[in-house]
């Protein structure tokens, strides 16, 4: 009777260990997230990506601008985009964002 109880306890502990091992979400296959590196000019050609950029990025990234280019990470759908541009390109991107609703148009003479 004692040996049956020991076998039952060992079986219970084994099933518990297996259940805990499978509960953490690791299936043995790593999830690969695709990151696409593009320039800011190419990113602005896609209106949906431009809209997502306006939603996810803030002008404060320009305060930490160091080096010749700045790379910003944007998540669009299941893809991560690494968008690279110069200070002037990023400044123009954010300036366009704030002046989008204005009616300032160049006068043609």
pLDDT in tens, the chain (109 residues): 788 888 888 888 887 877 776 656 656 665 656 788 999 999 999 999 999 999 999 888 888 778 888 899 999 888 899 999 998 999 999 887 555 544 444 434 4
**What pLDDT shows up at residue 29?**
62
**What pLDDT shows up at residue 82?**
94
Please tell me the distance from the alpha carbon of residue 92 to that of residue 16, in angstroms, as a whole number: 58
**What pLDDT shows up at residue 1?**
78
Domain boundaries, given as residue ranges, for the chain: 35-98
**What pLDDT shows up at residue 105?**
40
Q: Is 108 exposed, middle or buried (0-12, 13-18, 19+ CB in 10 A)?
A: exposed
**Whole-model pTM?**
0.58
**What pLDDT shows up at residue 33?**
67
**What pLDDT shows up at residue 16?**
81
**What pLDDT shows up at residue 102?**
42
Instruction: Identify the CA nearest to 56 among candidates 45, 64, 65, 48.
Output: 48
């Amino acid at each position: 009777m004692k040996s049956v109880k020991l076998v039952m306890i060992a079986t219970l502990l084994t099933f518990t260990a297996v259940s805990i091992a499978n509960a953490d979400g690791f299936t043995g296959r790593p999830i690969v997230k695709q990151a696409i590196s593009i320039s800011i000019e190419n990113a602005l050609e896609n209106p949906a990506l431009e809209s997502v950029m306006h939603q996810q990025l803030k002008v404060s990234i320009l305060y930490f601008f160091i080096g010749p280019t700045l790379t910003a990470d944007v998540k669009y759908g299941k893809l991560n985009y690494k968008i690279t541009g110069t200070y002037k390109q990023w400044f123009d991107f954010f300036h366009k964002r704030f002046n989008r609703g204005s009616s300032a148009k160049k006068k043609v003479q």
